[in-house]
Chains A and B, each alone.
Chain A
Amino acid sequence: MGLRKFVDKIKPTFSEGGKLGFLHSTFEGFETFLFVPNTTTQRGAHIRDCNDIKRVMIVVVLALVPALLFGMYNIGYQKGIQEILPAFWFGFLKMLPMIIVSYVTGLAIEFAFAQKRKHEINEGFLVSGLLIPMVMPISVPLWIVALSTAFAVIIGKEVFGGTGMNVFNPALLARAFAFFAYTPKMSGETVWYATDANTDAITGATALEQLATNGEMQWSVMEAFIGRIPGSVGETSTAAILIGAAILLFTGVASWRIMLSVFVGGLAFGYLFDAVGMTEFPAYMHLLVGGFAFGAVFMATDPVTSAQTNCGKWIYGFMVGALAVIIRVINPAYPEGMMLSILFMNALAPLIDYFVVERNIARRKKLIKNVK
């Protein structure tokens, strides 16, 4: 294997003491990306499952692809391009710079921190880096993408110790940062359409905003399900998101408990509000428009920031769905509630787990009394 020989040849340069030794972690990141290392088990179980975090993360990326591809097409479609391929190509060209900016910014920071801490590079950002552009409106300036990515990675992740230690979902944190710091660029009637020098600016409210205002929208339910409606790039197509959900659930990468309970929570409160007449918004539409489905499938199920116990996952998921609908219906300032509800529940997840684990401890303590 020529490639292996080449890697072995340049390895000393990047090892500690070598000329480029300060790039140790970076080199290792690329090396382990190319080759599964030859490390063998030294302690504990002698054989190991061939699954690793790289595989887990790549499955999530794969699951995001249908929504991403549809999002690209929809960028062109919303701009008025009717044929599929030209619409996709138009969206692809608009989306690509955002993806590149998000990955480059985020990975550069990750690599720098890994280098400083002498850690291996973590794969978590492979997912976050793709999620961030997918939860942004397409017209958002690239510098905002870069800035919010940097904020999410540094304040959301690295200050807590990196992947696995973060409290908040990094991609949502990036969106929340952009949303509150640069509100005009993140909401309103123009941001959902790609900026283009050749045509006049298109404006239009999202389905969610229309539904929240008068309980009706200009699109059919089918259009909303397929996703040919304005919105953040990845969130519009419930159909594409469901394909991703199927991948995540089949491979067991995402928790079915969380996914299911988010939908149950959303539906339950949707019906409740509908029943008491607080809104005209039909309950099932909550699941089809806005970021509800995307959040339920890709954000709420993040294993690091969600509840970790099985029982906690039911509570956490239900609350995410319920809160999202509560915010949508009751708070007129935020037509979209999913982002805030997931971030809020991220903060509460450890508390939910605490009570679940306390019950486990109580069962164990009860054992002592039984004996005595």
Chain B
Amino acid sequence: MSKNIKLRKGLDINLAGKAEARLEVAPMAKSYAVSPLDYENVTPKLLVKVGDKVEAGSALFFDKNNPRILFTSPVSGEVSAINRGEKRKLLNIAITPDQEQVAKAIKVVDAAKAERSEIVEMLLESGLWTRIVERPFGVIANPDATPKAIFVSAFDSAPLAPDYNFMLKEEKAAIDAGMALLGRLTDGKVYLSARKGDEGFMADVKGVEYNTFEGKHPVGNVGVQIHHLNRIAKGDIVWTVNIQDVAIMGRLVLTGKLDMSKTIVVAGSEAENRCYKRIISGAAVESILGTVKENVRVISGNVLTGRTTAADGYISADANMLTLIPEGNVYELLGWAMPRFHRFSVSRAYFSWLCPKKQYKLDTNLNGGERPFVVTGLYENYLPMDVYVSYLLKACLVKDLDKMENLGLYEVLPEDLALCEFVDPSKIEMQQILRDGINLMIKES
């Protein structure tokens, strides 16, 4: 039975720089990369060296914690560099693509007839397993576990986020096929949640428990949807998959080949050509954006949770968008005392409430210094969950595992607290504190 769930809490930040509904095909990039840093808690062990020839779908490295989890190349070509940072930490593996793309032969199974283990093997071999996220903790799913349910969000409510209906309009068959695969991975249901009034073809997707949500960001966050559909209790495991990755999984079954192409959106006030782009996962940012102006931050993902990437870097595996916003590395004379009409605040100590329709060109300035927790009751307005944000964060800060568990650590991921972090006048790094807390919990359990 499909439900409609209406959430009151949250915030839509009206940023300038929305993309047009226009699709361009980006040229083949000079370089593609796969990075273990796009995932949480992965200890990479290399399987290739510089100069090796790889095909699309060839394994590049695996996770030492779970050797079955392979990370594969999105394109065929030659390993051009293995980039390392401090303490020889693996940053990424860069691949120069061939003119003619070849995909590795992967044994494709029929979702309806195959054993569950065969489906798992296929996803592991293709590298698509890495796209399944496990909660609690937001790590790559454990292939030995069976989740109580799988959740897919059919929309993204973050600022400037792509319109999934536009992005996926050609992918209905692939999504159906992908959902059929996911349905075999769990004993429970596969939940698909769309935005009410903007359902597109999502209501017709087969093999899912379909629900609609309405409200402000973070209503599109799968974590929020889980909280309202089938909460995670201690001991539960649920998986989540981004719907574009569901389509890629489906495509593998339908075509028998790994095809890592995806549609992303280029948005933000500093982006010059704001539109949708067809790319192959892991492409060099330069191939998508061309040259980027000075003093612009390129974000792989949205402005609340994305990763900063360099103009000569790569788009991360989980990103469905590139956002370009101005850096805010300037001083502002007596800024805290000024009316600041050009800046946005949820507080009526400023004037954003006067013009709710206005689009804001926000920069990366922290807009203040970090302070201890002072205000109360604010954060809870931006997280539509039964979680006391400041109590959970304080438990993380003092490393009290019992309290972290009791206060809801299993139910949230850093992305769910991004809005709280945005509105916080104390400028506390909530996402990082929560991530550190989660990592501590993983280490101790």
Contacts and interface: CB of A to CB of B under 8 A. Distances in A.
Interface in B332-348: 332-337, 340, 343-348
Given A164-B374, A304-B374, A44 B418 contact: yes
A302 B305 CA distance: 32
B366 A48 contact: yes
B432 A49 contact: no
Nearest to B363: A47
Nearest to A163: B372
Contact of A40 (B329, B408, B418, B430): B329
Nearest to B387: A360
Contact of A46 (B303, B330, B376): B303
Interface in A118-150: 120, 122-124
B331 A120 contact: no
Could you tell me the dominant secondary structure of chain B's interface residues?
loop
Interface string A243-265: 00000001111010100000000
Contacts of A255: 376-377
B292 to A, nearest CB: 15
A141 to B, nearest CB: 33
Contact of B299 (A40, A46, A303): A46
Interface in A19-35: 32-35
B425 A40 contact: no
Chain A CB count within 10 A is highest, among B235, B349, B430, B432, for: B349
A41 B362 CA distance: 12
Contacts of B375: 56, 303
Nearest to A62: B349
B424 A49 contact: yes
A122 B345 CA distance: 21
Contacts of B369: 32, 37, 39, 52-53, 120
A53 B337 contact: no
A239 interface: no
Contacts of A252: 347-349
B344 A50 contact: yes
A309 B231 CA distance: 22
Contacts of A197: none
Interface in B21-69: none
B333 A250 contact: no
A278 interface: no
Contacts of B363: 40, 47
A50 B350 contact: yes
B134 interface: no
Contacts of A163: 371-372, 374
B57 to A, nearest CB: 33
A333 interface: no
Interface residues of A, number: 61
Nearest to A46: B303
A50 to B, nearest CB: 4
Nearest to A371: B233
Contacts of B347: 49, 51, 55-56, 251-253
A251 B407 CA distance: 30
A252 B347 CA distance: 7
A301 to B, nearest CB: 10
A51 B372 contact: no
A357 B391 CA distance: 8
Contacts of A308: 376-377, 390
A74 to B, nearest CB: 28
Contacts of B366: 37, 39-41, 48
A310 interface: yes
Contacts of A9: none
B316 to A, nearest CB: 14
A256 to B, nearest CB: 10
A48 B370 contact: no
Nearest to B434: A44
A367 B325 contact: no
A206 B335 CA distance: 43
B103 to A, nearest CB: 35
Interface string A213-228: 0000000000000000
Contacts, number: 220
Interface string B368-387: 11111111110010000011
A258 to B, nearest CB: 10
Given A46-B364, A162-B372, A36 B429 contact: no
B374 A303 contact: yes
Interface in A136-188: 161-165
Contacts of B387: 360
A361 interface: yes
Nearest to A369: B233
B406 A364 contact: yes
A38 B386 CA distance: 36
A35 B332 contact: yes
Nearest to A31: B331
Contact of B233 (A36, A50, A56, A367): A367
A34 B333 contact: yes
A303 B369 CA distance: 19
Contacts of B346: 49, 51
B338 to A, nearest CB: 9
A40 B374 contact: no
A47 B297 CA distance: 11
A308 B168 CA distance: 44
B348 A120 contact: no
A58 B336 contact: yes
B21 to A, nearest CB: 24
Nearest to A310: B377
B328 A51 contact: no
A34 B333 CA distance: 6
Chain B CB count within 10 A is highest, among A39, A41, A54, A368, for: A41
Given A40-B328, A47-B363, A120-B369, A53 B374 contact: yes
Nearest to B390: A308
B425 A49 contact: yes
A114 B42 CA distance: 39
Contacts of A37: 331, 366, 368-369
A48 B427 contact: yes
Interface in B301-337: 303-306, 308, 323, 325, 327-337
A114 to B, nearest CB: 12
A273 B362 CA distance: 56
Interface string B401-445: 000001110000010001101111111011110000000000000
6 contacts: A4-B331, A34-B333, A35-B335, A36-B335, A36-B367, A38-B365
Closest CB pairs A-B (n = 10): A52-B368, A164-B372, A36-B335, A367-B233, A50-B343, A44-B431, A54-B336, A35-B331, A308-B376, A36-B332
Interface of B: 13, 15, 148, 231, 233-236, 297, 299, 303-306, 308, 323, 325, 327-337, 340, 343-350, 362-377, 380, 386-388, 390-391, 406-408, 414, 418-419, 421-427, 429-432
Interface of A: 1, 3-4, 32-41, 43-56, 58-59, 120, 122-124, 161-165, 250-253, 255, 257, 303-304, 306, 308-310, 313, 357, 360-361, 363-365, 367-368, 370-371
Given A52-B368, A371-B236, 20 more contacts: A35-B333, A35-B335, A36-B332, A37-B369, A38-B328, A43-B431, A45-B419, A47-B304, A48-B424, A49-B367, A49-B422, A49-B423, A49-B425, A55-B347, A56-B347, A161-B372, A164-B373, A251-B349, A255-B376, A364-B233
